Amino acid sequence: MAAANTSINKNLLILHFTVFIWGFTSILGALISISAVQLVWYRVLIAMVSLFLYFKFDRTAFKVTRNSFLKLFFTGALVGGHWILFFASIKLSTVPVTLVCLSSMTLFTAILEPLINKKRISKLEIVAGLLIITGIVIIFKFETRYTTGIITGLTSALFASVFSIINSKHVKNHTPPVIAFYELTGAFFWTTLYLFFFHGFNHAMVLKNADIGYLLLLGTICTSFAYVAGVSVMRELSAFRVALVTNLEPVYGILMSFLFFGDMNKMTPGFWVGALIVLSTIFLFPVARKQIRVRK
């Protein structure tokens, strides 16, 4: 039991560090000047190449069966869609608004994970998810100028929830780097297809000097490294628990947003009321679940 708890605590520590890195991606997304789709194309290209070089340098076998390749490849479409919508939401609203919308991932996961895995739906998880949605509705009411950005952010959260649940199954059969490589390959393919048909390969893809540095940081540390770390913890942690901890991304991201952009000055009191409900739910959920287990 002690060894199991140690392993879980270790994975939770890794997950918290990974979420901190993910929080920084929102800052990079705001700093990079190109469109959301073009940004994601560069991001997955850099991450995919860096993982391929890692396999070659470490002499790690990364071949999978045709069936596994197709599953991972098509999951990559969800990954790419999530990132495109995430960065689009940032550009349509602000970093804090996008990150709080991403917290709805908890509600989506609380509903979808039991349905997909054919398990009993946890009432406590649903309550936590509904409280988070309440907070988001309050934000929606007061931040009407960001309506499109909020809807985009919520859709991004839905995509993130679905591929997190899928990855909790993939990780039982493949190593995290292999999962990340083929899903990023899929994300790159689908993003390329989108840019090709919608004439995204144009002069706007020419990068500024600052963009190159930001994209390298985004593609290596914030994507290939963080993605592998995020998937690896799913061997010990449930998709819902991962989603819950991932909701700390707004805390890290909003604080960094304030330091970089002073975004706190742009938000209405209604935003902070909604954000307080969301973040309080995140912190209080583990306490409530522990109390329920003790009473049983």
Contact 20, 189 (CB under 8 A): no
Binned at pLDDT 50, 70 and 90, residue 206 comes out as confident
pLDDT greater at residue 75 or residue 2: 75
| Residue reference for tokens 């942690």 | 237
Per-residue confidence (pLDDT) for residue 106, from 0 to 100: 75
Binned at pLDDT 50, 70 and 90, residue 27 comes out as confident
pLDDT greater at residue 193 or residue 15: 193
Per-residue confidence (pLDDT) for residue 104, from 0 to 100: 81
Q: Rounded distance, CA 42 to CA 198, Å?
A: 17
Per-residue confidence (pLDDT) for residue 156, from 0 to 100: 95
Q: Rounded distance, CA 260 to CA 264, Å?
A: 11
Weakest-pLDDT range from 14-23, 44-53, 134-143, 144-153: 134-143
Binned at pLDDT 50, 70 and 90, residue 188 comes out as very high
Mean pLDDT over each residue of the chain, to the nearest integer? 83
Query: What does the CA dihedral 167, 173, 174, 179 come to, rounded to 10 degrees?
Result: -30
Binned at pLDDT 50, 70 and 90, residue 193 comes out as very high
Binned at pLDDT 50, 70 and 90, residue 129 comes out as confident
Q: Is the pTM of this model over 0.85?
A: no
Q: Rounded distance, CA 24 to CA 250, Å?
A: 10
- Mean pLDDT value of segment 179-200: 91
Weakest-pLDDT range from 5-9, 28-32, 126-130: 5-9
pLDDT of 239 above 80: no
Query: What does the CA dihedral 151, 152, 158, 162 come to, rounded to 10 degrees?
Result: 160
Per-residue confidence (pLDDT) for residue 263, from 0 to 100: 60
Question: CA distances (Å), 227 to each of 57, 71, 291, in order?
Answer: 19, 17, 32
